[in-house]
Structure 1
Amino acid sequence: MITSFIDRLKEKPSGTLFNPWYETDPENDKHPDAPSIRRKQLAHYLQERVGKAKYLMIAEALGYQGGHFTGIAMTSERILLGHQRNKYSVHPNHVFQTISPARTSKVSVAEKGMTEPTATIMWGALTDLGIDPYEVVLWNAVPWHPYNPNKGLLSNRTPLPSEMEAGLRHLKEFITIFENAQLIAVGRKCEQSLSQLGEKHAAVRHPANGGAPKFRRQLLALAKGIGN
């Protein structure tokens, strides 16, 4: 199921969307097999959570500092490479354990790998609250990376309505992989996507743009319900 799901991620709208699992970033990727590394990392991340996931946390779209290079939503290279374990108690084996993590960006882009504020806050909050990272799966309503054509691939932009619409079929399939897990929308656009699919969900503030304190409070409130 996961293999076929990742295969179907090839199907994206035309326009300025980067597909990290099937496209190479010619200026910033370390080597030409970067897409296959990202596919492998996503596959292991998802597979290790099948049958364990209690929470699916859905954010808006993949970002250039996170999934663009790791292949995993809201997860940065710096987390995968173990450079945030001291400050945030986030370890590479919190992400996956059945393979060794690998960077796909050039060292010249970021010496210790790319780092993403959303990823840092998300994974830091999970570890601070003592939530088992294997009971949480991170994903995006728009699975691909929307970038600003005037700024290049190392940029983000707000997804277009048509791109949000195109992501719905992948989001629906993603949800079926993790049956009975609670859906949590991270941000308003994700709420809209889940509502369009008719999926019952909880909602939290997106941690970007000053939203981190409220995000942590809301996640804590949800965490207190674990096991109740």
Structure 2
Amino acid sequence: MKTPRSFVAALARTRLDSVFNPYAEACPEHDRADAPALRRRNLEAWLEAALVARVDTIWIARDLGYRGGRRTGLPLTDEVHLKDAGTLLGGIEFHRATRGPVVAERTAAIVWRMLTAIAEPAVLWNVFPLHPHGAGDPLSNRCHTRTEREATAPLLRGLIAIFRPRRIVAIGRDAQLALEGLDIPVTGVRHPSYGGQADFIAGIAALYGVDPERPSASPQLPLDHAASAGLALA
């Protein structure tokens, strides 16, 4: 797992019970037939662009959500913010992998509000990089188990090895506990769900020294970052 392509390939090979792997599986109700390939392409393009841009911070939450990364392939990113994600990394065109109306996720909306405010990209990830769901209820969210986390731990280590981040931001107490023991500084902020929105916004604003009430209108890396990576421009 030395490159984004080999990393995404390893991620797509992961199989666990009561876990949806959006990089290998398609939802018969909501996905396009080529959804797994589109999500792999989205994630690989995101990681390649972040690598070229020398992004040195990773924001890590707990699991993929069924309204966000399960659909887009981009952690902490819903379909509403796919264009924002592309703009932040220099004009990449990400593709929807689903049919029907665009779906929003509250956590993604708050995360992208703050990424817009700081006008600085971060690699977005989850301790458990797939979507764990209740048995027989694929469109539900649940916390991953310790066994599931351990099964995917090599992927987290692989991502850290690729980016060699200067700093990791743990989003939520669960993520912070799971990241203990890393030899990289980990700063914890409250997760924006379950009443934590104001604390999350304040935590990120303090960490980056920005005014959370006045987000930047159009955060963007120089276009040559995307061009030099050979990525499609919107």
Q: CA-to-partner distance for each residue in 1:188-217, whole Å, 9 max, x for gaps?
A: 221122214454311111111110100111
- Residues 10, 19 of structure 1: 8 Å contact kept: yes
- The aligned counterpart of 2:20 is 18
Taking the aligned partners of 2:26 and 2:178, their CA distance within structure 1 comes to 28
Matches within 5 A, 1:62-211: 62-80=64-82, 82=83, 90=84, 92-94=86-88, 97-98=91-92, 100-107=93-100, 111=101, 113-128=102-117, 130-133=118-121, 136-150=122-136, 152-211=137-196
Taking the aligned partners of 1:169 and 1:22, their CA distance within structure 2 comes to 18
Taking the aligned partners of 1:140 and 1:95, their CA distance within structure 2 comes to 19
- Residue 96 of structure 1 and its aligned partner are, at CA, apart by 6.1
Q: CA-to-partner distance for each residue in 1:81-140, whole Å, 9 max, x for gaps?
A: x5xxxxxxx474225623x22212221xxx2x1111111000101212x3322xx11000
Could you tell me which runs of 5 or more consecutive residues in structure 1 were left unpaired when the two chains were aligned: 83-89
Taking the aligned partners of 1:185 and 1:140, their CA distance within structure 2 comes to 9
> Percent of aligned pairs with the same residue?
34
- The aligned counterpart of 2:47 is 46
TM-score, structure 2 as length reference: 0.82
Taking the aligned partners of 1:206 and 1:192, their CA distance within structure 2 comes to 13
- Residue 180 of structure 1 and its aligned partner are, at CA, apart by 3.5
Taking the aligned partners of 2:15 and 2:181, their CA distance within structure 1 comes to 19
Taking the aligned partners of 1:178 and 1:140, their CA distance within structure 2 comes to 15
- Residues 88, 119 of structure 2: 8 Å contact kept: no
Match of 2:58 among 49, 56, 59: 56
- The aligned counterpart of 1:86 is none
- Residue 166 of structure 1 and its aligned partner are, at CA, apart by 1.9
**DSSP 3-state at the match of 2:179:** helix
Q: CA-to-partner distance for each residue in 1:43-76, whole Å, 9 max, x for gaps?
A: 1111111142131000000011111111000000
- Residues 12, 24 of structure 2: 8 Å contact kept: yes
Distance 1:199 1:182, change over 3 A: closer
The amino acid of 1:36's aligned partner reads: A
Taking the aligned partners of 1:203 and 1:224, their CA distance within structure 2 comes to 16
| Worse-matched range after superposition: 113-122 or 188-197 | 188-197
- Residues 60, 187 of structure 1: 8 Å contact kept: yes
- Residue 3 of structure 1 and its aligned partner are, at CA, apart by 0.8
The amino acid of 1:132's aligned partner reads: E
- Residue 8 of structure 1 and its aligned partner are, at CA, apart by 0.9
- Residues 58, 138 of structure 1: 8 Å contact kept: yes
Could you tell me which runs of 5 or more consecutive residues in structure 2 were left unpaired when the two chains were aligned: 211-234
- Residues 131, 223 of structure 1: 8 Å contact kept: no
- Residues 13, 163 of structure 1: 8 Å contact kept: no
Tell me the number of residue pairs that the alignment of Structure 1 and Structure 2 aligns: 207
